[in-house]
């Protein structure tokens, strides 16, 4: 693939990967290191079509422990994967799923007010969705096969991994 | 050489130096790993700054303890209840122990059909079973009495088309209900002028009592009731469900640990702005002299005598009536809170809740003095009790003042605020503390920029355990908007349910309940002082030794 990309294209794609990876990893680490962090307040504030589902989730203390744990570590692992270019495609899929869930919980619809408002002005497309699109781009341009640990993994793992993992 | 090596990954130039290829391979594979170092630095640094900036445990010592509630014991005996009064509050109390009118359930089911997010029906169905049975009901209005009977038989918590259990017996008078030997305990939700009389009769009949606030209508009956409860030894609970609010327990701990500095002023208020909030309740269909026992409504002869004696001897005739007591009136029957002839006004209805909360948190006891002012400033509907009222209470021995204010024609709220030399605390379902900019205790932390003074630095949300750090912006945001519910072990509870549960468990376990007769006595005398100060237009004092309200 490297031959098909100019140095400029490759560089900017890797920069995009590092930036998104950095963002995920930092978000995840801050949550992991804060024992009091919980997604409960965020979920209670859900709006839109899936509001009730997320609010019910927030009301279930047992479930919330798992939701919090899963969210924290998914953020960390996805961030790490993107940053060092390891299982990059899988990380992209995971990241897109998480971002989709965030969007479902807090869609940027007109006439909806959140208790914890967005810091900008959005209609339908917010930063989560832009990041999601970025991950889509990274999925179809698996740059870690050139710059990243996947460069090594692609040689040692069976080709079945190429499609959705590496 | 450098030029030739470019794009070596394609593997097309076999002749290239193998060592060089290996090095490039490793470089390209691990090129982005060093970025991890930068992130790690960021995480560690953030953590350090956060900890440094938020740790206040050296000046703010508070336990992680959550609110404690008397837990029901397994295998406790079933308690047989008699209900006296099935008006607005009577219906609410019955729901709190698991009995709702079928028509009420119908509206909940209908609401859920229209809006699946309306979970009131499910919440009611899931409300804990308190192991009680309703054996008798009494209301002097036939329609209410019939409805109470149906409600008491609604043991499966179903709507009009549901199954019903055996119906409780309907009694014409509270005296007949109290004579029944299949009743262990009574719930009193009659108008104010009946509370004390019925409670005394119930205690003498050996029934435990849950009575709505205020404790009494006249001052003399307050002493009698206290004596009766103490002599008979029944479990008496006054209906200040605020006793079960989780944040009040935390507030008490905060004050005990002196985290606010010397508290010198407390501001409380109850402002409302609707006809319902101003006691202009609807006139119910089917009410007429045939369906309402007006004679009973008038009141107990001894009570009326006490009331009239005080009013006349204090030249307060203008506050009596204006209708003759014997004259049937639907307005007076349904909206009795608007006339002193039956009511205790804002003092008895709403001030008592505020005072009881403060008394629970600080054990202030009966104040040394009370001064009031106000008037009928909005609801010119012939009422004699004021719709705007201010009362100021003083505790010189505690160097403390409490300001209560109320209006029934504006809902702007000031909160329940405890103002101390070092910080002020606002208490509702959640609790926030804001440092005073001239505080001594927090001076260093304020100077260091760790404790802000323009926003609360501590927030208590029931169920949350963290206490040693400054509130984050997110927590503050949610707490201020009251978004977080009160949960005990993950389940949402209604305070009235918990308050009645405590009463029932104290009967079963022989324990002392929170709003017992001593607390109730303090509540009643405080409210009476406020009322008399308003009526007489002068400050009332409390003679501690004689336990009497005296004029200045």
In terms of domains, do B209 and B264 share one? no
Q: Are B126 and B226 in contact (CB under 8 A)?
A: no
Give the pLDDT of residue B464. 62
Shortest distance between the Cα of A165 and any Cα of chain B, in A, equals: 16
Closest CA to B125 of B95, B94, B93, B161: B95
Let me know whether B269 and B401 are in one domain.
yes
Interface of B with A (CB under 8 A): 7, 9-10, 25, 28-33, 35-36, 39, 42-43, 46-47, 50, 116-117, 464-466, 474-475, 477-478, 481, 483-485, 487, 489-490, 492
Instruction: Compute the nearest-CA separation of A125 from chain B (Å).
Output: 23
Cβ(B462)–Cβ(A36) under 8 Å?
no
Whether residues B29 and A115 touch (CB distance < 8 A) is answered with no
The CA distance from B12 to B15, in Å, is 9
B549 in a domain, yes or no? no
Residues 6+ apart with CB under 8 A from B477: A115, A116
pLDDT of residue A61: 77
Structure tokens at B204: 């003498």
Q: Are residues B370 and B453 part of one domain?
A: yes
Please judge whether A61 and B487 are an interchain contact, meaning their C-beta atoms are less than 8 angstroms apart: yes
Q: Are B184 and B205 in contact (CB under 8 A)?
A: no
Identify whether residues B263 and B195 lie together within a single domain.
no
B475 and B335 together in one domain: yes
Whether the CA torsion B284, B286, B290, B296 is positive or negative: it is negative
B386 in any annotated domain? yes
In this complex, how many residue pairs, one in chain A and one in chain B, have their CB atoms less than 8 Å apart? 84
**CB-CB under 8 Å, B474 with A33:** no
pTM of the model: 0.80
Q: Which residue has the tokens 């409504």?
A: B297
Are the beta carbons of A84 and B46 separated by less than 8 Å?
Answer: no
B35 vs A3, A18, A151: nearest CB: A18
Residue of B nearest to A154 (CA): B29
CB-CB neighbors (< 8 A) of B28 in chain A: 146-148, 151
Cα of B96 to nearest chain A Cα, Å = 21
Which of B217, B264, B259 has its CA nearest to residue B364? B264
The verdict on a CB contact (< 8 Å) between A115 and B481 is: yes
Per-residue confidence (pLDDT) for residue B8, from 0 to 100: 41
Q: How many residues does chain A have?
A: 166
How many domains does the structure of chain A reveal? 1
The interface predicted TM-score of the complex, written ipTM, equals: 0.87
CA distance B129 to chain A (A): 21
- By CA distance, what is A148's nearest residue in B? B29
Residue among A2, A61, A147 whose CB faces B32 most closely? A147
- What pLDDT sits at residue B7? 41
* C-alpha to C-alpha distance for B263 and B363, rounded to whole angstroms: 13
Nearest CA in chain B to A50: B117
Beta strands B369-375 and B540-543, pairing class: antiparallel
The residues with which B83 forms a beta bridge, in sequence order, are B137, B187
Residues of chain B below pLDDT 50: 1-12, 482-485
- The maximal CA–CA distance of chain A, rounded, in angstroms, is 53
Rounded distance, CA B466 to CA A35, Å? 9
List the domain range (segments joined by +) for residue B179.
79-240
Residue of B nearest to A14 (CA): B32
Chain B contact present for A146, CB below 8 A: yes
How many helices (H) does chain B have, and how many strands (E)? Answer: 20, 18
Residues B169 and B273 in one domain: no
Three-class secondary structure of residue B138 per DSSP = strand
Among A41, A61, A84, the residue with its CB nearest the CB of B478 is A41
Put simply, the answer to whether A116 touches B466 (Cβ < 8 Å) is: no
CATH number of the domain bearing residue B324: 3.30.360.10
Question: pLDDT tens-digit profile of B245-294?
Answer: 888 999 999 999 999 999 999 999 999 999 999 999 999 999 999 999 99
A29 CB neighbours in chain B (<8 A) are 39, 43
> Is A7 part of the contact surface with chain B (CB cutoff 8 Å)?
no
Locate tokens 């899929």: which residue?
A93
Q: Structural domain tally of chain B?
A: 3
DSSP state letter for A29? H
**E strand segments, B246-387:** 263-271, 369-375
Confirm or reject contact between A84 and chain B (CB < 8 A): yes
CB contact under 8 A, B32 and A60: no
Q: Using CA atoms, how far apart are residues B475 and A165, in angstroms rounded to an integer?
A: 38
My answer on whether B201 and B252 are in the same domain is no
Structural domain containing residue A131 = 2-162
Nearest CA in chain A to B27: A147
DSSP state of B386: -
Half-sphere exposure of B253 (CA within 13 A, CB side): 17
- How far is it, in rounded angstroms, from Cα B3 to Cα B17? 13
CB contact under 8 A, B490 and A148: no
| Same domain, residue pair B184 and B227 | yes
> From the DSSP assignment, how many helices (H) and strands (E) are in chain A?
7, 0
Residue A99 exposure: Cα atoms within 13 Å on the Cβ side: 23
**Number of Cβ atoms within 10 Å of the Cβ of B37:** 9
B408, part of any domain: yes
**What string of H, E and C letters represents the secondary structure of B404-436?**
EEEECCCCCCCCEEEEECCEEEEECCCEEEEEC
For residue A60, the distance in angstroms to the closest alpha carbon of chain B comes to: 6
Classify residue B97: in a domain, yes or no: yes
Nearest to B490 among A2, A41, A62 (CB): A62
Nearest chain A CA: its distance from B344 CA (Å): 40
For residue B470 the two structure tokens come to 């400054």
Q: Is residue B119 part of a domain?
A: yes
Closest CA to B455 of B430, B481, B473: B473
Q: Shortest CB distance from A26 goes to which of B42, B484, B485? A: B42
- B221 plus B282 within the same structural domain: no
- Sign, CA torsion B448/B449/B454/B459: negative
Q: How far is it, in rounded angstroms, from Cα B62 to Cα B460?
A: 11
Residue of A nearest to B45 (CA): A30
One domain, residues B27 and B131: no
Cα–Cα distance, B540 to B391 (Å, whole number): 11
- The domain boundary, picked from B221, B240, B259, lies at B240
| Predicted confidence (pLDDT) per residue in A68-127, tens digit | 999 999 999 999 999 999 999 999 999 999 999 999 999 999 888 887 777 788 999 999
What's the rounded Cα separation, in Å, for the pair B91 and B286?
A: 18
């Amino acid at each position: 693939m490297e031959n098909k990309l100019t140095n400029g294209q490759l560089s900017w794609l890797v920069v995009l990967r590092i930036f998104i990876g950095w963002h995920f990893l930092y978000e995840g680490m801050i949550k992991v290191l804060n024992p009091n962090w919980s997604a409960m307040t965020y979920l209670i504030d859900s709006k839109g079509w899936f509001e009730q589902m997320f609010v019910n989730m927030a009301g279930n203390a047992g479930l919330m422990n798992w939701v919090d744990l899963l969210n924290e570590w998914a953020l960390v692992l996805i961030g790490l994967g993107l940053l060092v270019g390891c299982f990059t495609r899988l990380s992209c899929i995971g990241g897109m799923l998480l971002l989709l869930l965030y969007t479902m919980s807090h869609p940027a619809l007109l006439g909806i007010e959140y208790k914890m408002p967005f810091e900008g002005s959005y209609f339908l497309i917010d930063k989560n969705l832009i990041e999601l699109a970025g991950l889509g781009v990274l999925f179809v341009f698996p740059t870690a096969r050139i710059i990243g640990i996947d460069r090594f993994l692609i040689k040692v793992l069976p080709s079945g991994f190429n499609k959705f993992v590496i | 050489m450098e030029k030739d090596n470019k794009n070596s990954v394609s593997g097309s130039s076999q002749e290239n130096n193998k060592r060089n290829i290996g090095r490039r391979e490793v470089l390209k594979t691990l090129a982005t790993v060093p970025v991890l170092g930068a992130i790690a630095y960021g995480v560690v640094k953030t953590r350090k700054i956060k900890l440094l900036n938020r740790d206040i445990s050296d000046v703010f010592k508070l336990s992680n303890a959550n609110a404690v509630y008397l837990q029901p014991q397994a295998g406790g005996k079933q308690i047989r209840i008699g209900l006296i009064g099935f008006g607005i509050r009577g219906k609410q109390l019955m729901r709190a122990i698991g009995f709702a009118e079928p028509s009420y359930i119908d509206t909940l089911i209908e609401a859920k059909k229209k809006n699946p997010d309306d979970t009131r029906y499910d919440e009611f169905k899931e409300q804990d079973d308190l192991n009680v049975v309703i054996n008798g009901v009494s209301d002097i209005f036939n329609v209410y009495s019939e409805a109470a009977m149906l409600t008491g038989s609604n043991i499966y918590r179903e709507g009009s088309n549901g199954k019903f259990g055996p119906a409780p017996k309907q009694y014409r008078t509270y005296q007949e209900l109290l004579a029944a030997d299949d009743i262990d305990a009574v719930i009193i939700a009659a108008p104010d002028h009946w509370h004390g009389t019925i409670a005394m009769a119930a205690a003498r009949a050996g029934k435990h009592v849950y009575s709505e606030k205020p404790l009494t209508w006249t001052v003399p009956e307050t002493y009698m009731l206290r004596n009766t409860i103490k002599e008979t030894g029944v479990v008496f609970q006054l209906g200040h469900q605020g006793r079960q609010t989780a944040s009040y327990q935390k507030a008490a701990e905060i004050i005990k640990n002196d985290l606010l500095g010397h508290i010198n002023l407390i501001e409380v208020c109850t402002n409302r702005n609707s006809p319902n909030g101003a006691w202009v309740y609807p006139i119910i269909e089917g009410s007429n002299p045939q369906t309402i026992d007006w004679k009973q409504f008038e009141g107990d002869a001894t009570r009326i005598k006490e009331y009239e004696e005080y009013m006349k001897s204090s030249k307060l005739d203008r506050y009596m009536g204006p209708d003759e007591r014997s004259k049937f009136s639907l307005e007076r029957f349904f909206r009795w809170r608007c006339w002193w002839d039956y009511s205790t006004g804002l003092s008895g209805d709403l001030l008592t809740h505020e005072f009881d909360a403060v008394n629970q948190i600080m054990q202030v006891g009966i104040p040394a003095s009370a001064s009031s002012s106000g008037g009928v400033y909005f609801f010119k509907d012939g009422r004699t009790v004021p719709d705007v009222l201010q009362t100021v209470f003083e505790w010189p021995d505690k160097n403390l003042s409490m300001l209560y204010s109320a209006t029934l024609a504006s809902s702007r709220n000031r909160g329940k605020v405890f103002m101390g030399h070092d910080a002020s605390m606002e208490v509702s379902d959640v609790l926030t503390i804001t440092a005073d900019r001239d505080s001594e205790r927090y001076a260093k932390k304020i100077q260091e920029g760790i404790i802000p003074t323009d926003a609360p630095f501590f927030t208590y949300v029931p169920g949350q355990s963290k206490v040693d750090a400054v509130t984050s912006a997110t927590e503050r945001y949610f707490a201020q908007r009251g978004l977080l519910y009160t949960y005990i072990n993950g389940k949402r509870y209604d305070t009235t349910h918990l308050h009645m549960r405590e009463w029932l468990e104290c009967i079963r376990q022989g324990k002392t309940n929170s709003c017992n007769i001593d607390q109730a006595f303090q509540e009643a005398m405080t409210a009476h002082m406020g009322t008399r100060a308003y009526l007489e237009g002068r400050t009332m004092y409390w003679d501690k030794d004689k336990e009497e309200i005296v004029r200045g």
